[in-house]
Amino acid sequence: MLVLGIETSCDETGIALYDTTSGLLAHALHSQVALHADYGGVVPELASRDHIRRVLPLTRQVLAQGNAKLAELDAVAYTAGPGLAGALLVGAGIGASLAHALGKPAIGVHHLEGHLLSPLLADPAPQFPFVALLVSGGHTQLMRVGGVGDYTLLGETVDDAAGEAFDKSAKLLGLGYPGGPAIAALAEQGRPGRYTLPRPMLRSDNLDFSFSGLKTAVLTAVRNQVLDEQDRADLAAELQAAIADVLVSKSLAALEQTALERLVVAGGVGANRHLREQLTAAATRRGCTVYYPPLEFCTDNGAMIAFAGALRLQQGLRETGSGFTVRPRWDLASLPAV
Ligand code: KG4
Ligand code: ZN
């Protein structure tokens, strides 16, 4: 079965073609980073307008690359939420219209389910069940994943997401958006430990997180002294280390609590090299294995949406997003198990 995937939930237009027999045939991505850079963050109205411009040309490109015709599609999957309402509506509107015109099912995919299942695009792919650490710009969650649609929330952030801690601290340090890659690059020049930042909730006896205090601590450091380039790099390194320490510790606790041995990391923060090194080292010491999606599918992309849509289609599910209805807020645990 051949599925077109359309991702427009935030600042990336991602389009992909996934075939249930041959795998991923083609994918294309247009990043809006340059468009929003002057504003220091995503401007929702500009994001929507740019998605309108990009979706159809990228779809044509992907079809050509995959050597496929529109008429050969078995379904069109699009991100139905969570995300920016206007941006979601672009992908949903085009996806649902395309499906309708072709007389094929439209599948509204949950963006986080796309992230969660994206490590299955890698080789080797993890077997169910596994623990998933979902670390995107807006979410930090630990889940037990028993299968497609079988998601049990183990813990989540009580305030900011890890990605937000990166993004907000980057702004305080005068770095551009998106903040995660900017902090990671600056941290390469820095030493963790020169500044001391908290490891929030590290010792709490649950699997929840709290990251909003970190940006406050960075703000205090920035206010208290004039930072030179080395100071900023040291602060970035310490911030990255603090976030990674908490994510590693809670992920290992989740593996222990669930008695599982496989950990899957998904979402943009999962692209962070320091986090990957720390997680892999700590998990390996415990005899556990960590799976990551291919680096390009850590951040938002169309492949994960085409893939999640194809899995849902195979399991007989249609129109979870029902036409043009998008859900800017959408609880992952509310998805039907199959
Ligand atoms: O999954 P994603 O692309 O979009 C959402 O669904 O939110 O995640 C974006 C988040 C942003 O907070 C960005 O700063 C962070 O992922 N990010 C990183 C890195 N690359 C992206 N954070 C740390 N290190 C990175 N290399
Ligand atoms: Zn995302």
Each residue's pLDDT tens digit, 143-180: 999 999 999 999 999 999 999 999 999 999 999 888 99
Instruction: Please enumerate in sequence order all residues whose Cβ is within 8 A of that of 231, keeping only pairs 6 or more positions apart, or say none.
Output: 225
Instruction: Please enumerate in sequence order all residues whose Cβ is within 8 A of that of 146, keeping only pairs 6 or more positions apart, or say none.
Output: 128, 129, 152
pLDDT (0 to 100) of residue 337: 81
Residues facing 59 on adjacent strands? none
SS3 state of residue 71: helix
320 has pLDDT over 60: no
pLDDT tens, position by position, 177-235: 889 999 999 999 999 999 999 999 998 999 999 999 999 999 999 999 899 999 999 99
Residue 227: count other Cβ atoms within 10 Å of its Cβ: 16
pLDDT (0 to 100) of residue 40: 87
Q: Is the CB of 293 under 6 A from ligand 1?
A: no
What is the mean pLDDT of the segment spanning 239-260? Answer: 98
The pLDDT-based confidence of 316 (bands split at 50, 70, 90) is confident
H helices present in the chain, as ranges: 33-36, 44-65, 85-102, 111-117, 162-172, 179-187, 212-224, 229-258, 273-285, 303-314
- Residue 167: C-alpha distances to residues 41, 52, 77, 248, 308 (Å): 9, 26, 29, 20, 27
75, 316 contact by CB (below 8 A): no
104 has pLDDT over 50: yes
Please work out, in degrees rounded to the nearest 5, the angle formed at the alpha carbon of residue 167 by the alpha carbons of 171 and 302: 135
Measured in Å, residue 9 CA sits from the centre of ligand 2 at: 8
25, 18 contact by CB (below 8 A): yes
Measured in Å, residue 136 CA sits from the centre of ligand 2 at: 6
67: exposed, middle or buried (Cβ count in 10 Å: 0-12, 13-18, 19+):
exposed
Ion ligand 2: residue ranges with CB closer than 5 A: 136, 300
Measured in Å, residue 163 CA sits from the centre of ligand 1 at: 6
Q: What single-letter amino acid sits at 31?
A: S
What's the CA gap between 152 and 312, in Å, rounded?
A: 18
Closest atom of ligand 1 relative to the 167 alpha carbon: 14
175, 183 contact by CB (below 8 A): yes
Mean pLDDT of the chain: 95
Give which of 112, 120, 228 is closest to 173, Cα–Cα. Answer: 228
Measured in Å, residue 178 CA sits from the centre of ligand 1 at: 7
Residue nearest to atom 7 of ligand 1 (CA): 137
Q: Is the CB of 181 under 6 A from ligand 1?
A: yes
Q: Is the CB of 179 under 6 A from ligand 1?
A: yes
pLDDT (0 to 100) of residue 321: 45
Q: Is the CB of 14 under 6 A from ligand 1?
A: no
What's the CA gap between 127 and 324, in Å, rounded?
A: 34
What is the mean pLDDT of the segment spanning 243-256? Answer: 98
What is the mean pLDDT of the segment spanning 277-306? Answer: 96
Give which of 305, 286, 309 is closest to 297, Cα–Cα. Answer: 305
112 has pLDDT over 90: yes
Closest atom of ligand 1 relative to the 240 alpha carbon: 23
310 has pLDDT over 70: yes
pLDDT (0 to 100) of residue 318: 64
What is the mean pLDDT of the segment spanning 69-98? Answer: 97
pLDDT (0 to 100) of residue 181: 96
Closest atom of ligand 1 relative to the 162 alpha carbon: 12
pLDDT (0 to 100) of residue 218: 96
pLDDT (0 to 100) of residue 319: 62
The pLDDT-based confidence of 324 (bands split at 50, 70, 90) is low
Residue nearest to atom 13 of ligand 1 (CA): 180
pLDDT (0 to 100) of residue 315: 87
Measured in Å, residue 288 CA sits from the centre of ligand 1 at: 25
Measured in Å, residue 268 CA sits from the centre of ligand 1 at: 3
253 has pLDDT over 90: yes
